[in-house]
Structure 1
Amino acid sequence: MESKPVTPYVVGSKNPLAVAINCAAKAGEWIKSRLGDIKAVNEKFSPQDLVTDVDKGAEAMIRKLILTHFPSHDILGEEGVAPGAAASAAAWQEASSSEFLWIIDPLDGTTNFVHGFPFFCVSIALAFKGEVIIGVIYDPIRDEMFVAEKGKGSYMHGHTNRVSADARLEESIIAVGFNPDRQAAPINLKGITALSGKARSLRAGGSAALHLAYVAAGRLGGYYEVNLNAWDTAAGALMVAESGGKVTDTAGNPYHVGARNLIVSNGTIHQELMEVIEAAGATGN
């Protein structure tokens, strides 16, 4: 049977998805132009949690563009929140009652960016009454724009994303994270150690948003990390769900934007992933 050509994912010029794509593209290209030209690097919560003038500049750019089109919408951006898990949780709680809320990580993978390691991205999501309806993740180094819209699928440059066909954990590459919060690090390490003996291999790229996009695209079978923030996960969680995958907290509850401890998978290996993390005492709950 002759295969049908892939239909590009086309959006209008004045809808929220188009605005999100435009914001991610403009910010991403500017971030790429500043690689190796950082004016200021500061520590936030710990020496492992960095912020640069580029993070702040990119967020300011995205905020301005969004508010130009949607002045009545609210914005939750990483650089507008004080450091630490408690402050992040409180910021989400305060913002969660917004009707339309943009959730922005202007530069996910700042430590990578500072060191010239080419694995970072812009992540932009839009939530309506607490439910994410749009997610965009842009990797300016590879010029890969991952896009998802609630009920309409997930795409990368017009091609439909589908999660991997891995049937078992031992067939899967699983992404993990070395969280910059040192209190969360021992929990993550328990999970990483347990998964290292069960999965085909582990990857720690240093960008939660790109890990999620890669699960959605079928490049990874799953992802596990505790102590994440809303801006780390909002866009990518929708992407995984729209690609046929599954996102829950480490207790198995359905994903919501305030969830901080996540297990993400192609769906097929989800139960197996959860059992490994639970047996290791690495749920973070």
Structure 2
Amino acid sequence: MAGEAARMLVERRPADLGVAITKSSPTDVVTEMDTAAEQLLRKMILEQRPDDAFLGEEGGANSGRSTVRWVIDPIDGTVNYLYDLPHWSVSVGVEVDGVAVAGVVAAPRLGETYTAVRDAGSWCNGVRLRVRPPTDLGRALIATGFGYRSERRERQGVIVGALLPRVRDIRRAGSAALDLCAVAAGRVDGYYERGTHDWDRSAGALIATEAGAIVQGFHGQSASEAMVLAAPPGTFTALHDALIELGAGAPDY
């Protein structure tokens, strides 16, 4: 179903695609295709699972009669999609009693589909995923993302500027789900971001966890809007401690 939504987003993307609405700020955009993809996913899922609950980025939350909840981001990386950059994905996570049990992140313009099942591993196009070996922070390639509100980006810019001399380099690709998958695939050594939502993390966090990453917030808390950190053990601790030292745990970050 994620693959079908992804194909629709590629094949039906208008040449003159524009912004349908904005959310938290003028740069937090929704396109007509975000809405169309989420509607398609809900329709396909409900045909087979009519009693399940939903949490979608564009459609909000709907309660169900079962213990299963589908967590959907129809386009993770909407600004990339708007600009016709390839780094965007369809993210679909499945929870049972609040615990993620399966996830798919489909990136059609990259030709990649990531999947995971709890306690059964994670995969990309049929190849088993494994995080990179732990490394010291000075040799770590770190992915991150930034918020939509200018005041938050200003503070995040200060933090990332202070972190940059301590690491190998920084990457900002524009899709939290794919950043988590990049940790799982060993393409980066770690990832951190403030401001992500359940739909950004649900599938990608499970994919990274099943590949051997620690995925948490600060001080052992669960990953949340306040912070998500993902890295192999060892690298995780070094990144966590550096970010705390630099003030990324402060309420105004």
CA contact (8 A) 1:184 1:227 kept: no
Q: Tell me, in whole angstroms, the C-alpha distance in 2 between the residues paired with 1:237 and 1:182.
A: 27
**Residue 11 (structure 1) aligns with:** none
- Is 2:210 aligned against 1:232? no
Percent identical = 34
Structure 1 residue aligned with 2:37, among 32, 44, 58? 58
Q: CA RMSD in A?
A: 2.0
- Going from structure 1 to structure 2, the CA distance change for 1:194 and 1:187 (only over 3 Å counts) comes to same
Displacement of 1:267 after TM fit?
2.0
Residue in structure 2 matched with residue 34 of structure 1 by the alignment? 12
Change (3 A) 1:230 1:202: same
1:98–1:49 CA distance, 2 compared to 1 (3 A): farther
Partner of 2:88: 120
1:174-211 C-alpha deviation (Å, 9 max, x unpaired): 11112113343234223312321111010000100000
State the partner residue of 2:241.
Answer: 275
TM-score (norm 1): 0.82
| Cα distance in 2 for residues equivalent to 1:96 and 1:204 | 36
- Decide whether aligned partners of structure 1 residues 284 and 225 sit closer, same or farther in structure 2, where only a CA change above 3 A counts: farther
Gaps of 5+ in 2: none
CA distance 1:142–1:97, change in 2 (3 Å): same
3-state SS of 1:233 partner: helix
Residues 186-244 of structure 1 deviation map (CA, whole Å, 9 limit, x = unaligned):
34223312321111010000100000011011101111111110000011111111001
SS in 2 for 1:184: helix
Letter matched to residue 30 of structure 1: M
Cα pair 1:104 1:231 within 8 Å, conserved: yes
> Whole-Å Cα distance in 2 between the matches of residues 196 and 143 of structure 1?
30
2:186 is the counterpart of 1:218? yes
Gaps of at least 5 residues in structure 1 are 1-22, 82-90
Distance 2:76 2:231 in 1: 20
- The answer (yes or no) to whether the contact 1:187–1:226 under 8 Å persists in 2 is no
- Secondary structure of residue in 2 paired with 1:251: helix
C-alpha change, 1:241 and 1:219, in structure 2 (3 Å) is same
Give the superposition deviation at 1:262: 1.0
Q: Is it true that 1:250 corresponds to 2:218 in the alignment?
A: yes
Aligned partner (choices 250, 262, 280) of residue 228 of structure 2: 262
Does the CA-based 8 Å contact 2:184-2:211 persist in structure 1?
Answer: yes
Distance in 1 (CA, whole Å) between partners of 2:135 and 2:213 is: 13
> Using the alignment, how far apart are the partners of 2:82 and 2:250 within structure 1?
29
Q: Is the 8 A contact 1:96 1:130 kept in 2?
A: no
Matches within 5 A, 1:15-30: 23-30=1-8
Query: Where in structure 2 are the equivalents of 1:1-285 lying within 5 Å?
Result: 23-41=1-19, 42-81=21-60, 99-255=67-223, 258-285=224-251
Q: 1:131, 1:191 → 2: CA distance?
A: 32
- Tell me how far 1:252 sits from its aligned partner: 2.9
CA separation of 1:54 and 1:149: change in aligned 2, threshold 3 A: same
- Who is 1:19 aligned against? none
Tell me: CA distance 1:97–1:219, structure 2 relative to 1, closer, same or farther (3 Å).
farther
CA distance, structure 2, for counterparts of residue 244 and residue 165 of structure 1? 10
Check the 8 A contact 1:146/1:155 in 2, yes or no.
yes
TM-score, normalised on structure 2?
A: 0.92
In the TM superposition, what is the alpha-carbon distance from 1:95 to its structure 2 partner? 6.2
Question: SS of 1:197's equivalent?
Answer: helix
Query: Cα deviations across residues 123-153 of structure 1 (Å, max 9, x unaligned)?
Result: 0000000100001101010220100000000
